Structure 1
Amino acid sequence: MKRRTRTMIFQVLALVLVAALLAGCGGQQIAGTEKPAEEEKVLNVFNWSEYMPQSVIDKFTAETGIKVNYSTYSSQEEMLAKLQAAPGSYDLCVASDYMVEVMTKQGLLEPLKLDKIPNFNNVDPLYRNPPYDPENKYTVPYMWGTVGIAINTDRVKRPVTSWQDLWDPAFAGKIVMLNDARYCIGATLKSLGYSCNETSPEALAKAKNKLQELIPKVKAFDSDSPKTLLLNGEAVIGLMWNGETALAQKENPAIKYIYPKEGAIRWQDNMAIPKGAKHPENAMKFMNFILRGDIGKEIAEAYPYASPNAETIKMLPAETRDNPASYAPEAELKKGEFLKDVGEATPEIERIWTEVKS
């Protein structure tokens, strides 16, 4: 009888203990089953200036409720410096080909989850898996294009076919150039018969001397809106982005884009998530939104660089697709080359640029 009583007492105590444990757990989830906290509805974007329509940003916010804080830079080096100085300040940045190389080597980018960016399937295979980011581990493409020469044919009557033509004394004081060391030094190297990525001391010394001849003849250095000087008549020739030239053509059809015979400098801009980003999920939602065909069309019509989005290309009018200022002919693409990370030569290139402009 006592044994049975003791057994009943233990059973009651066990039930009480279980009830107490359940009560103590309340609404808590069992360890390992917690749902990830939803990110706040904010996205901090860092991009080139004059490169994304406000209407696109507004549509993203309207569809998702995510507020976009949009900041701009004027060069890849400026972007890199700010990301290094303030980790976690931005959730999405736009980085050019060679800069992606630099940033991945420095561990400055977060890996992407492409399954959360299904519209990546819209990207033309030509612009996937680039050499600087095989398998698109860190980036998805935004836009692509070239750096070449723009002229006002109303005021430039002689043929322009070479990078060397920028040194023609007739253009002194009427030249606009991108405020960018890699593109300007790269074009100078190509005018001398070198690759735009050449880093030998001999080649860089020649490029420095040649640039020193040109700098006094340059009216202005402008990476934000170099087309402005062509349109207001202060410049008649320029070292220009292709899309800036296409924009200028809308206001003045006499503006023409030239692919130098030595080859243009190609580029591809890419969306990436900086290391330490506070809102990476929102960043991938934004990437997926940008890669929609209709959104790509809106961007390409506002800023007529070349779109890597196959669905967007189908939607664009023929006059846009066939404009060589936007979409380089295949033969010109074969002659062109991309900038690459030049590693230990980077400080020397920056020093040359600082000295020739001072």
Structure 2
Amino acid sequence: MEQYEPDRLSAVQLAATRRSMTSGRGALTRRSMLRATGVGALGLGGLAGLSGCGIPPAKREGEGLAATDHSAAEKRLVFSNWTEYMDVSEDEKHHPTLEAFTGRTGIKVTYTADINDNVEFFGKIKPQLAAGQDTGRDLICVTDWLAARLIRLGWAQRLDASNLPHAFANLSQQFRSPDWDPGRAHSYPWTGIPTVIAYNARATGGRTVDSVSQLLDDPKLKGRVAFLSEMRDSVGMTLLDLGKDPGAFTDDDFDAAVARLQEAADRKQIRRFTGNDYTADLDKGDIAACVAWAGDVVQLRSDNPDIKFTVPDTGYIVSSDNLLVPAEARHKTNAERLIDHYYRPPVAARLAAYINYVCPVDGVRAELAKIDKSMAENTLILPDAAMAASSHAFRSLSSEEETAYEEKFAKLIGA
């Protein structure tokens, strides 16, 4: 069945993808969905769930346990992903890229959008992982900080590069070697999530906003600035503005960034720290400028030409959601083949057109242009070399750092 290659999209599929950008899924990105429902942020209760429930501190305890692989005899796998994070057909009854995989390989995918929050999902799978049992899932998609924790605990299997030829060849340099998984031994990114500066040109009187210092100090923006309630994004962007590397900062550096934000909040320069609800205020102009997630900016710009974005000269923060095979999963090879499927450029283009975040796959520009030329030229979806070089990842944290930093940030934002 390997000769069947339905990776190329038909005219009908292309049209359906274009329509998805202006109705249904296109109105709300995956990350916005989390903020809209009030989940996704790692609050103090979530920290307690990670560090105070009998789980050892985050450290490597060995490679994830590999169960007997039943892939050859059982042509199936179970894939858990976030809600609104997979392409759908126009009637919303099919997942074209998953069906293309089954058609090409004969492997049936049970796809479940049962991840709504990293902490909540970790609570679901923790008991089985801690007991050395199968979670019932062969492939999961989690944000980088949780991926790091699972790898350190030995709860993610090492991937077999021989089953990942497209992934190995096409993974963007920007995502090749995070500090929490050097060489991508256990994970591959599903998508990248850039944090940039967005502004409403009408609300700023046509002035460009292109630095965190401007957000924090420009008197013409006073009371009309928002930062995100996600610690890694807001503190990370502030660290960059202070000339510090988010990938190698100290406790003192972190405290200086929080103090900088606190000072601006105290004098009411910052209107508020927000989840995705900044989007409505930015669209109306009640917020003139803010730290924003790229997927939201793509959507807002499609309807409001006054919405602009900039990447500060100091750089920007990028995080990622990542595919891992849990310890004891029964169908490791099948899962690896599915990961590899999404690194085929025509497949990656279809997915990127739907979810609007950074595509981690090189070589998709021509395929994405067939769907929508403007998306192929959008550096928030396909970063050019300069933008990719400006990206910085927030370094992985120990359990102790995670607790201490989140407590300080929660105090800052009044959580």
1:210 aligns with 2:260: yes
Quote how far apart the aligned CAs of 1:162 are: 0.9
Partner of 2:254: helix, strand, or coil? helix
Quote how far apart the aligned CAs of 1:279 are: 4.8
2:222 and 2:407 mapped to 1: Cα distance?
25
1:297 aligns with 2:352: no
Partner of 2:364: helix, strand, or coil? helix
Which residue of structure 1 lines up, in the alignment, with residue 190 of structure 2?
142
Identity rate, percent:
21
The letter for the 1-side match of 2:275 is: D
The letter for the 1-side match of 2:313 is: K
Which residue of structure 1 lines up, in the alignment, with residue 296 of structure 2?
244
Give the direction of change, closer, same or farther, for the CA distance of 1:113–1:232 in structure 2 (3 Å limit).
farther
Give the direction of change, closer, same or farther, for the CA distance of 1:81–1:348 in structure 2 (3 Å limit).
farther
How well do the aligned residues superpose, as a CA RMSD in angstroms? Answer: 3.4
More helix by share: 1
Which residue of structure 2 lines up, in the alignment, with residue 349 of structure 1?
405
The letter for the 1-side match of 2:312 is: P
Quote how far apart the aligned CAs of 1:140 are: 2.1
Partner of 2:359: helix, strand, or coil? coil
Equivalent residues of 1:142, 1:269 under 8 A apart: yes
1:58 aligns with 2:95: yes
One of 183, 187, 191 as aligned partner of 2:233? 183
Partner of 1:316: helix, strand, or coil? helix
Which residue of structure 2 lines up, in the alignment, with residue 161 of structure 1?
210
The letter for the 2-side match of 1:345 is: E
Equivalent residues of 1:119, 1:291 under 8 A apart: yes
Equivalent residues of 1:182, 1:349 under 8 A apart: no
Number of equivalences: 322
Give the direction of change, closer, same or farther, for the CA distance of 1:227–1:53 in structure 2 (3 Å limit).
farther
Give the direction of change, closer, same or farther, for the CA distance of 1:38–1:211 in structure 2 (3 Å limit).
farther
2:377 and 2:367 mapped to 1: Cα distance?
13
Quote how far apart the aligned CAs of 1:237 are: 2.1
Quote how far apart the aligned CAs of 1:129 are: 4.1
Equivalent residues of 1:124, 1:310 under 8 A apart: yes
Quote how far apart the aligned CAs of 1:213 are: 3.7
After superposition, the C-alpha distances for 1:169-206 in whole angstroms (9 at most, x for unaligned) are: 54455444433111111122223332224543432332
The letter for the 2-side match of 1:140 is: Y
Point out where structure 2 has 5 or more consecutive residues left out of the alignment: 1-68, 130-134
Which residue of structure 2 lines up, in the alignment, with residue 192 of structure 1?
242
Which of the pair has more CA radius of gyration?
1
- After TM superposition, the structure 1 stretch with the greater mean CA deviation from structure 2, 62-71 or 168-177, is 168-177
1:186 and 1:159 mapped to 2: Cα distance?
21
2:409 and 2:120 mapped to 1: Cα distance?
14
Give the direction of change, closer, same or farther, for the CA distance of 1:114–1:200 in structure 2 (3 Å limit).
closer
Matches within 5 A, 1:119-138: 119-120=166-167, 123-124=170-171, 126=173, 129-132=176-179, 133-138=181-186
Equivalent residues of 1:163, 1:262 under 8 A apart: no
Alignment TM-score, normalising by the size of structure 1: 0.75
One of 114, 134, 140 as aligned partner of 1:93? 140
The letter for the 2-side match of 1:69 is: T
The letter for the 2-side match of 1:43 is: V
